[in-house]
Amino acid sequence: MDLSTAQLSVWLGSFFWPFTRIGAMLTAMPLFGSRLLPVRIRLVIAVGLTVVLIPVIPPVPALDPLSPDGVMTMAQQLLIGFAMGFTLQLVLDAVSLGGQAMAMGMGLGFASMVDPQNGVQVPVLSQFLLIMATLLFLSLNGHLVALQILADSFRVLPIGPHGVSAASVQAVIRWSSQMWVGAVLIALPVMVSIMMVNIGFGVMMRAAPQLNIFAVGFPVTMLVGFALIMVTLPTISDNIRQLFMQSFDVSRALLAAGGR
């Protein structure tokens, strides 16, 4: 059977354009975008998802990748994929930021280790919360929900030179502000309690200046902090779960805004 250049371009395009969006989302989202996951494994997962989704997505238009429409289409697919993955990644960033705030208040800011998710130094307490958030993400079937949203995105935002609108970009920007709100909600009980403990130590130091407050306050603050974390872990888990649910809603709203 003879294959013309046009037919070959159509067949390759039917795989390449969905692969671009899927690969961009896997690169930005939690778990799949981790540095612990080798690039080759991520590439295999992206290829496998593309092969599975091709039969159920709308027909892919025949576009020349080097044409102006082809360049715009590639940019749109990368932007859509990164935006959906970025909304989920912001939840882990909020968890990490909340852990850093608690660690600094407890005096554990110096105890740092490399976060394998992002490859940067974070306090040990932040790493503990990140592990808990990742396990919650899996227990909520967050990876399956994200893949479902990805599959729906091809129906709401078909492959083409037009996709993400200004309203979609604004939705992502507004959601990024929730990273700070989520971090505060996670760290607020511990931070307020430790602040009250420090105020009490300040009163003690005024009443008894000869007391070595640094030798007494540091272990007490750390002990109180660990006790508060143990008590507030259910509340922290609920806040993380709500952040993940909100991120899924933002991804759906992003697609709905782009589809209009």
Exposure string of 155-178, with b = 16+ CB inside 10 Å and e = fewer, is ebbbbbbebbeeebeebbeebeeb
**Nearest 5°: phi and psi at 4?**
-85, 165
pLDDT score of 249: 85
Say what the pLDDT of residue 115 is. Answer: 60
How confident is the model over 20-56, as pLDDT tens digits?
Answer: 888 888 888 888 877 777 888 888 888 888 888 888 8
User: Residue 11 CB: number of other CB atoms within 10 A?
Assistant: 13
Distance CA 139, CA 33 (A): 18
d(CA 150, CA 81): 8
Distance CA 108, CA 124 (A): 8
The DSSP output letter for 60 is: P
Quote the Cα angle for 145-36-232, to 5°: 60
Burial 74-91 (b: 16+ CB within 10 A, else e): bebbbbbbbbbbbbbbbb
Residue 204 has pLDDT above 80, yes or no: no
3-state secondary structure 157-183: CCCCCCCCCHHHHHHHHHHHHHHHHHH
Say what the pLDDT of residue 68 is. 76
Phi, psi of 54 (to 5 degrees): -55, -45
Amino acid sitting at position 137: F
At 99 the pLDDT is 85
Spatial separation of the C-alpha atoms in residues 9 and 121, rounded to whole Å: 45
Q: Which residue has the tokens 């991804």?
A: 251
80-104 confidence digits (pLDDT tens)? 888 888 888 888 888 888 888 888 8
The b-or-e profile of 207-222 (16+ CB within 10 A means b, else e) is: eeeeeeeeeebeeebe
Banded pLDDT at 203 (limits 50, 70, 90): confident
| pTM, full prediction | 0.80
